Structure 1
Amino acid sequence: MAHHTEVFIGIDTSKLRNAVAIAEAGRNGKVRYFGEIDTSEAATKKLIASLASKYRKLTFCYEAGPTGYGLQRLIESLGHSCIVAAPSLIPKKAGDRIKTNRRDAEGLARLLRAGELTAVWVPDARHEAMRELARARDTARQDLTRKRQPVSSLLLRMGLHYPGIKTWGARHRSWLANLKLEHAEQRFVLEELLVAERQAGERVGRIEQAIRDALGDWSLRDIVPALMAMRGIDMISAVTILAEIGDLTRFANPRQLMAYLGLVPSERSTGDAVRRGPITKAGNGRARRALVEAAWAYRHPARVGFEKQAAVAAAPRPAREIAWKAQVRLCKRFRALTRNGKKSTVVAIAIARELAAFIWAIAQEVEAAPANTSSL
């Protein structure tokens, strides 16, 4: 009866049907294809009940992907373990040129049994909703940029150049409204493009307001004002970083966070030869982009501007101290690397990597604050 003790179930998920394979425990345990089931909750519960009647312990896994984490939460709610595997870290045979749902499910079951899968962090439903809101704002912002480009292209074709420096401010919009165009058709096109740009901007504003309203009952709300003490990080970027990364305290040290964000150099070394290349770009790209954008603020000398003073004052004292320490170090390092001939883009990546370490330190301080307060 030993073969009825434990099994490992690999699930290859899709939109309508999930392929399921079962690997029995032990080195020589059989791996068999169970078949496909509907993605509905009822079908999944029926599958789990059937397997639970035959085996004492069930362990499930599937790849992280567009189907989300609903299946994992359902399996966990039924009292069984389920990991969501990182697709980029799943071992693959170089000579394997055949890919089917059945083979993928069987491969997942084998790798789960061997302990070769790396699980991703699974957010709760509330955190995932906040992440969707942050991503919606990112999408809306990209759409706003796309809406502005045709306006600039139209003016360039007509030989019209804005005499100011900063575009899309109040002066620039006033200049656009008072333009005298030769043909009515050109004025019509310009007005239509400006209407589309204005609507896209209003959409960004609505989503940002929704993010502010949602902060009140978010589990990571206390870390947001602490991160805003950092130079280059406002409310939106702080929410984006936290929504994408999740619980920062799950990383034992800053190096783990840097590796998770793909900000560490790649390496192909053999023998005595050590070859390091560009950053790995593994992990979450949205959080990495937010950090790189914030890193550009450190190219200027260390100081706290007038607009930043309120955010710094609202942050806890430990966060303010870490933020100022980071600003002094990173501003100095940005200029030093630039003087040494490094490209500004490479320097920004290096600063973003160190910035991640300071963000990790702030999260540690904020999480430890309630415990420290209660012990006094």
Structure 2
Amino acid sequence: MSIITVGIDLAKNVFAVHGVNESGKAELVKPRVARDQLLKLISKLPPCLIGMEACSGAHHWARLFQAQGHTVRLIAPKFVVPYRLSGKRGKNDAADAAAICEAVTRPNMRFVPIKDEHQQATLCLHRTRQGFVAERTATYNRLRGLISEFGIVAPQKVERLLQHIPAHLEALPAWARRCVEDLLVHARDLDKRIDDYDKAISQVAREDARSRALMQLPGIGPVSASALLASIGIGHDFKSGRQVAAWIGLVPGQYSSGGKARLGRITKAGDAYLRSLLVLGARSILASLGEKQDRFSRWARELVERRGYWKAVIAIAAKNARMAWAVLHYGEDFRLTLNIEAA
């Protein structure tokens, strides 16, 4: 019998490969495959289903295997663990490959969308910008901590912090003053780099018709639009917008039993970056409501009054996630409307 399913445990240099035939019997067990030999091994196999954990390099290998005619599925590592434990196997590469091989065949398994090179390049912009933002925040916090050692308590807002520091520089010891000045220079350099990445991301968003369509949604700007497009593509890996909202972690967790439904806090599953962008966009919508009387604004205002500010923010963010999927999935067939309907 020919191999129909293959599980691959990815690594830097040595990979484990496990393949089974139609009856579920192992036909291919390779606990150690060198990196330069993996593609050669897979290219010799007939078209089959290949499963891998969604980790570093997974999308690259997925594209290579798809070019060989295989069907590739990426699985979140946490979904593979139960299948390794069910076989009472120890934790090693071969056991992981066998567990992946079993998990990828499950009918209700959830998979990670495979990204093309353009999507990954766009996400590189976002990840690098995100890193610079985090570094800038750390720099200002370090600055506050240093000057507090000399009795200078700085304001929390960056604008007020920058206005507050110059008046106290002369009172600092020489070496401390040098450290503060260097940190300020570093923060200004990070500001410039972040501005450059903002411009690059905006350019990427403007050049793509799908991103421009996403930016018509309230609360979604160039950063959110390009991140959504790079993360979910045209949405073909999701059956509905609700699945996208659940994938991002904007739906309540269920703790139901005995016929009694119990809904808890949002799951916060999936991509925290996407979730934060959608939440920030929802907050900007509520901040700019004013006295607007269009249907969307009335719905958002009533939602805040009925359920509270933060629940309204999450509801709007989840709504935007569902609408974004519809825009990407249906394209020109989707007629964008801001009318809020029951989802």
Shorter-chain TM-score range: 0.7 to 0.9
- Asked if 1 retains the 8 angstrom alpha-carbon contact of 2:12 and 2:35, the reply is yes
Q: How does 1:188-267 map to 2 (within 5 A)?
A: 188-215=178-205, 221-248=208-235, 251-267=238-254
CA RMSD of aligned residues (A): 3.1
CA distance, structure 2, for counterparts of residue 360 and residue 236 of structure 1: 16
- Asked if 2 retains the 8 angstrom alpha-carbon contact of 1:227 and 1:359, the reply is yes
User: Are 1:126 and 2:122 an aligned pair?
Assistant: no
CA distance, structure 1, for counterparts of residue 32 and residue 139 of structure 2: 44
How many angstroms does 1:101 deviate by? 0.5
How many angstroms does 1:64 deviate by? 0.8
Deviations 1:121-153 (A, max 9, x none): 111111111111111111111111111112233
Q: How does 1:296-335 map to 2 (within 5 A)?
A: 296-300=283-287, 302-303=289-290, 325-335=295-305
How many angstroms does 1:162 deviate by? 6.4
TM-score, with normalisation over the residues of structure 2?
0.83
Partner of 1:35: 31
Partner of 2:98: 106
Deviations 1:286-332 (A, max 9, x none): 11111112222244462599xxxxxxxxxxxxxxxxxx654442233
Q: How does 1:1-376 map to 2 (within 5 A)?
A: 3-4=1-2, 6-27=3-24, 29-30=25-26, 33-40=29-36, 43-52=37-46, 57-90=47-80, 92=82, 96=88, 98-113=90-105, 115=107, 117-160=109-152, 167-169=157-159, 173-179=162-168, 181-185=170-174, 186-215=176-205, 221-248=208-235, 251-300=238-287, 302-303=289-290, 325-338=295-308, 344-363=309-328, 366-368=331-333
Tell me which amino acid in the other structure corresponds to 1:99.
K
Q: 1:49 to 1:243 in 2, by over 3 A?
A: closer
CA distance, structure 1, for counterparts of residue 168 and residue 79 of structure 2: 55
Q: 1:241 to 1:326 in 2, by over 3 A?
A: farther
Deviations 1:263-289 (A, max 9, x none): 111112222333222222222221111
CA distance, structure 2, for counterparts of residue 132 and residue 17 of structure 1: 26
Q: 1:131 to 1:22 in 2, by over 3 A?
A: same
Equivalent residue pairs, number: 331
- Asked if 2 retains the 8 angstrom alpha-carbon contact of 1:301 and 1:331, the reply is no
Q: Which moved more, 1:237-246 or 1:111-120?
A: 111-120
CA distance, structure 2, for counterparts of residue 346 and residue 120 of structure 1: 28
Deviations 1:309-356 (A, max 9, x none): xxxxxxxxxxxxxxx654442233123322xxxxx5444333322332
Segments of 5+ residues of structure 2 without an aligned counterpart are 336-343
Tell me which amino acid in the other structure corresponds to 1:352.
A
Q: 1:88 to 1:224 in 2, by over 3 A?
A: same
Segments of 5+ residues of structure 1 without an aligned counterpart are 306-323, 339-343, 371-376
Q: 1:268 to 1:369 in 2, by over 3 A?
A: closer
Tell me which amino acid in the other structure corresponds to 2:315.
A
- Asked if 2 retains the 8 angstrom alpha-carbon contact of 1:32 and 1:106, the reply is no
Tell me which amino acid in the other structure corresponds to 1:130.
T
Could you say what secondary structure the match of 1:138 adopts?
helix
Q: 1:213 to 1:355 in 2, by over 3 A?
A: closer
- Asked if 2 retains the 8 angstrom alpha-carbon contact of 1:334 and 1:351, the reply is no
Percent identity over the alignment? 25
TM-score, with normalisation over the residues of structure 1?
0.76
Q: 1:349 to 1:179 in 2, by over 3 A?
A: same
How many angstroms does 1:159 deviate by? 4.7
CA distance, structure 2, for counterparts of residue 79 and residue 117 of structure 1: 22
- Asked if 2 retains the 8 angstrom alpha-carbon contact of 1:25 and 1:113, the reply is no
Tell me which amino acid in the other structure corresponds to 2:184.
L
Deviations 1:54-113 (A, max 9, x none): xxx433221111123111111111222222223333361566472110111112223345
Q: 1:358 to 1:335 in 2, by over 3 A?
A: farther
CA distance, structure 2, for counterparts of residue 354 and residue 113 of structure 1: 32
CA distance, structure 2, for counterparts of residue 150 and residue 328 of structure 1: 43
CA distance, structure 2, for counterparts of residue 200 and residue 109 of structure 1: 45
Could you say what secondary structure the match of 2:17 adopts?
strand
- Asked if 2 retains the 8 angstrom alpha-carbon contact of 1:23 and 1:110, the reply is no
